[in-house]
Amino acid sequence: MIYLGADHRGFELKEKMKKWLKSKGWEFTDLGNDKLDTEDDFPDFAIKVVKKIKKGDFGILFCGSGVGMDVVANRFRGVRCGLGFAPQQIRIAKRDDNVNCLSVPADFTTEEEARPIIEMFIETNFSSSDKYLRRLSKIEKIK
């Protein structure tokens, strides 16, 4: 399952991406915000999304800089969130680091730019090579 979340600065892009995701046949659940609220707080939506991520699930977060959501998501054990600016960057993050959450910087990313980034995130598989598994194991041991 793909879980989506956005604050007010990411709301418009999230809504556009929902239509596109649906047209591609990808299942998703929108965890908010469900309306434009300029007083909302990004941690609320990042937390909702990352608490839902289980093995095989993905989170896609939308906020202005992307950084706030990314910081919140990476506070949670088992979540590896990447800030996405380019499709090839996210391909490597997914392939090598097995990111399971993507933070999209809505202030710096157009609808046309977001599509290939998100598509790469969803369609790229983790390589599972020994060196990447070893590195992820070291990350998991961090307290």
Q: Write the single-letter amino acid at 59.
A: G
At 5, give phi and psi (nearest 5°). -155, 145
Q: Please report, in angstroms and rounded to a whole number, the separation of the first and last CA atoms in the chain.
A: 28
Query: Residue 29 corresponds to which amino acid?
Result: T
Catalytic position from the list 4, 6, 47, 63: 63
* Separation CA 107–CA 126 (nearest Å): 28
Catalytic annotation on 63?
yes
Active site residues: 63
